[in-house]
Structure 1
Amino acid sequence: MTTTSEPRTVAGNLCLGTAPDSWGIWFPEDAHQVPFTRFLDELVAAGYSWLELGPYGYLPTDPKRLAEEVAARGLKVSGGTTFGALHRPQEWDEMLAATREVAALTAAAGAHHLVFIPPMYRDEKTGDFTEGPELTAEQWNSFGGRANELGKILLEDYDVRLCLHPHADSHIQTQPEIERFLNETDSRYANLCLDTGHVAYGGGDNLDLIRRFGERVGYVHIKQMDPDVLKQVSAEGLSFGEAVKRGVCVEPPAGVPDPASIVEELSTLDAELFVIVEQDLYPCAPDVPLPIAVRTREYLSGCGLSGSRRPAL
């Protein structure tokens, strides 16, 4: 197994968990994906006790059944996940209704964070462009206000906190785009899910973001990207889906950014945070994820990450 040579002091403000993404789960249903029961069983076998819900509909959406499946395995839920287009006002009502469903399930599971992912402007499977890669000035002008409005609804109606997740092939991908989002939103209602891999994919500096915007980091996805594949993305104009097929997401410590440095910097924040492992594997053979999950947990444990306590709000 891969471990660090000298285990660091446990970062007491950080709580380690994982997500369906680390088992190659991108969709509610897909022939390439393992059944949710196998995912939950293997999550436990890999030594994790906290999980993010992943794409709405993959795990049971009935709160009672979800609670039973999770409790039967001694698991706990860190947060929910959803996609939404804040730059498309014509879709607000539909987006809000869908987000409310995820927020209600998240709250029923005892979690208080909703990871909100902007839609990709390239198709996840074909790589075809579905819209332009940059928001217009008009779209930017209202983006922050809509994020604040949505975050206020989630907080007041569900006690769930909106954490926007920068994502490859989305309009919140580069560091300037991330910073603009943070500068144009209210910290009471909208903050950042720092996804270390996607920040690196977009050419950003994770440590700089933590140092300058640490009070806005509400939740963390920890992952790494292969720098050689990132060069191919730039040189060939690859879509994120194609980059994943080429193995852009790697297990630590093979890629960028350095997980130990991320953990060390996060440990200095005056906040308690979930740090959720993600390694985009879609599509992958069923037997691939579990050994990776075990090695990743052991490596991150050596960096000081533990999943033994629940962060305070």
Structure 2
Amino acid sequence: MSNKKFNKEKVWVGITPTSWWNDDFLDIDIGIPFEQCVSEMALAGYQGCSVGHKYPTDVEVLKKELGRRGLRVSEPWTSTFFTVNEMYDQTVEDFKHSLNFIKEMGGTDIVVAELGHSVHQRSVALKANKPIFSPDQWEDLFRGLHQLGAIAKAEGMRLCYHHHMGTGVQTREEIDHLMKNTDPTLVHLLLDTGHITFSGGPNDSALSLAQTYADRIKHVHLKNIRKEKMDISDEKHLSFKQSILEGIFTVPGDPEGMIDFAPIFQTLANADYEGWLIVEAEQDPAKAYPLDYAKMARAHIAEITGL
């Protein structure tokens, strides 16, 4: 087995603002403003970031503020709704809007996840109530993703699908089904180390997923899991929000985390991975001071990868 290194010119380390505030649950917030958030990202040594709800909506203002700090936008998130009625056209239009935004910001990746029937934002037991797509819904999803992927490819962009807790593409089996039935030139995979681990099945390993789909992975979210908190979430049938508040997620490098990132990074490097490595840990900033955890993760990634 080779032990390649990442190409520093083609692999970048970023972070999401979800350590500073939460974009799914706006009450998980201690009042940190946009300017402090992105300044601390830069201070911790990151090259880019995803977009949060406190960011300026004016592209020129956002470019100016991020540019001052040496940051770029890594991706916008776009929800798709191909598995629910009368949402196909709206989903395509929303995608085109996000695509235009990321192009203006100089990015290459657009992240999507199918949120039709999703329960991750609802106050229900997360795993027990996740949607199970019918054959027709799967076909609708495949068709929709192929159209979005073709739109992105024509613009020189990459569509990256984000498997996500509480959705119809959560488990390894569901990810495999999606990958098997989509065109690898149009639909790429976003590897989320935390979501696949939290899914909790016998084959739900971030390393296994990376090994199987290394050539299709074009975007990575680096999320760690506190096993003790995951066990509590499963035993008490917690919602996604309750799991976050319980402290299930943390960053790479946290000794409380259960994921070994070194073999995952090596698998991706061996496959000549090019793109973003994005630290993402939905934590309560009142309990986990964002800058401390941002620095912890950045140091851990640098130690393992040299990036």
Question: Conserved in 2, the CA contact under 8 Å of 1:107 and 1:159?
Answer: no
**Secondary structure of residue in 2 paired with 1:90:** coil
Between 236-245 and 203-212, the greater mean CA deviation after superposition:
203-212
Question: 1:121-157 deviations in whole A, cap 9, x for unaligned?
Answer: 225263378x76211222112221211111111222x
User: Structure 1 residues 205, 286: CA separation in 2 closer, same or farther (over 3 Å shift)?
Assistant: closer
Please say if 1:85 is aligned against 2:81. Answer: yes
Provide the C-alpha distance between the structure 1 equivalents of 2:257 and 2:306, rounded to a whole number of angstroms: 18
Matching of residues 69-148 of structure 1 within 5 Å: 69-119=65-115, 121-122=118-119, 124=121, 126-127=123-124, 133-148=131-146
Question: 1:37-78 deviations in whole A, cap 9, x for unaligned?
Answer: 221111112121221224xx4322222111111112121222
Question: Conserved in 1, the CA contact under 8 Å of 2:5 and 2:269?
Answer: no
Question: 1:162-182 deviations in whole A, cap 9, x for unaligned?
Answer: 101111111111000011111
Provide the C-alpha distance between the structure 2 equivalents of 1:298 and 1:31, rounded to a whole number of angstroms: 26
Q: TM (normalized to structure 2)?
A: 0.87
User: Structure 1 residues 123, 167: CA separation in 2 closer, same or farther (over 3 Å shift)?
Assistant: closer
- 2:228 counterpart residue number: 228
| Aligned residues between the structures | 295
Correspondent of 1:23 among 14, 20, 26 = 20
Matching of residues 1-313 of structure 1 within 5 Å: 11-12=6-7, 14-27=11-24, 32=29, 34-54=32-52, 57-119=53-115, 121-122=118-119, 124=121, 126-127=123-124, 133-156=131-154, 158-203=155-200, 204-251=204-251, 252-253=253-254, 254-281=256-283, 283-285=284-286, 288-306=289-307
User: Structure 1 residues 125, 134: CA separation in 2 closer, same or farther (over 3 Å shift)?
Assistant: closer
User: Structure 1 residues 305, 169: CA separation in 2 closer, same or farther (over 3 Å shift)?
Assistant: farther
Between 190-199 and 158-167, the greater mean CA deviation after superposition:
158-167
Provide the C-alpha distance between the structure 1 equivalents of 2:47 and 2:226, rounded to a whole number of angstroms: 28
User: Structure 1 residues 81, 93: CA separation in 2 closer, same or farther (over 3 Å shift)?
Assistant: same
Give the partner amino acid of 1:78. Answer: S
Provide the C-alpha distance between the structure 1 equivalents of 2:32 and 2:122, rounded to a whole number of angstroms: 18
Question: Conserved in 1, the CA contact under 8 Å of 2:111 and 2:159?
Answer: yes
**Secondary structure of residue in 1 paired with 2:163:** coil
Provide the C-alpha distance between the structure 2 equivalents of 1:164 and 1:51, rounded to a whole number of angstroms: 18
Q: TM (normalized to structure 1)?
A: 0.86
Q: Kindly report the root-mean-square deviation, in angstroms, between the aligned alpha carbons of the 2 structures.
A: 2.5
Cα displacement (A) at 1:88: 2.0
User: Structure 1 residues 123, 183: CA separation in 2 closer, same or farther (over 3 Å shift)?
Assistant: closer
Question: Conserved in 2, the CA contact under 8 Å of 1:29 and 1:58?
Answer: no
- 1:309 counterpart residue number: none
Between 258-267 and 189-198, the greater mean CA deviation after superposition:
258-267
Cα displacement (A) at 1:259: 1.3
User: Structure 1 residues 262, 43: CA separation in 2 closer, same or farther (over 3 Å shift)?
Assistant: same
**Secondary structure of residue in 1 paired with 2:166:** coil
Q: Which protein has greater RCO, CA pairs closer than 8 Å, 6+ apart?
A: 1
Give the partner amino acid of 2:191. Answer: L
Provide the C-alpha distance between the structure 2 equivalents of 1:110 and 1:286, rounded to a whole number of angstroms: 34
User: Structure 1 residues 89, 192: CA separation in 2 closer, same or farther (over 3 Å shift)?
Assistant: farther
Question: 1:182-201 deviations in whole A, cap 9, x for unaligned?
Answer: 11111121111100110111
User: Structure 1 residues 35, 28: CA separation in 2 closer, same or farther (over 3 Å shift)?
Assistant: farther
Between 33-42 and 63-72, the greater mean CA deviation after superposition:
33-42
Provide the C-alpha distance between the structure 2 equivalents of 1:287 and 1:35, rounded to a whole number of angstroms: 16
Cα displacement (A) at 1:294: 0.8
**Secondary structure of residue in 2 paired with 1:270:** coil
Provide the C-alpha distance between the structure 2 equivalents of 1:192 and 1:49, rounded to a whole number of angstroms: 22
Q: Which runs of 5+ in 2 are unaligned?
A: none
Between 66-75 and 228-237, the greater mean CA deviation after superposition:
228-237
Provide the C-alpha distance between the structure 2 equivalents of 1:11 and 1:69, rounded to a whole number of angstroms: 29
User: Structure 1 residues 200, 287: CA separation in 2 closer, same or farther (over 3 Å shift)?
Assistant: closer
Give the partner amino acid of 1:171. Answer: G
Instruction: Give the % identical residues.
Output: 26
Provide the C-alpha distance between the structure 2 equivalents of 1:301 and 1:293, rounded to a whole number of angstroms: 12
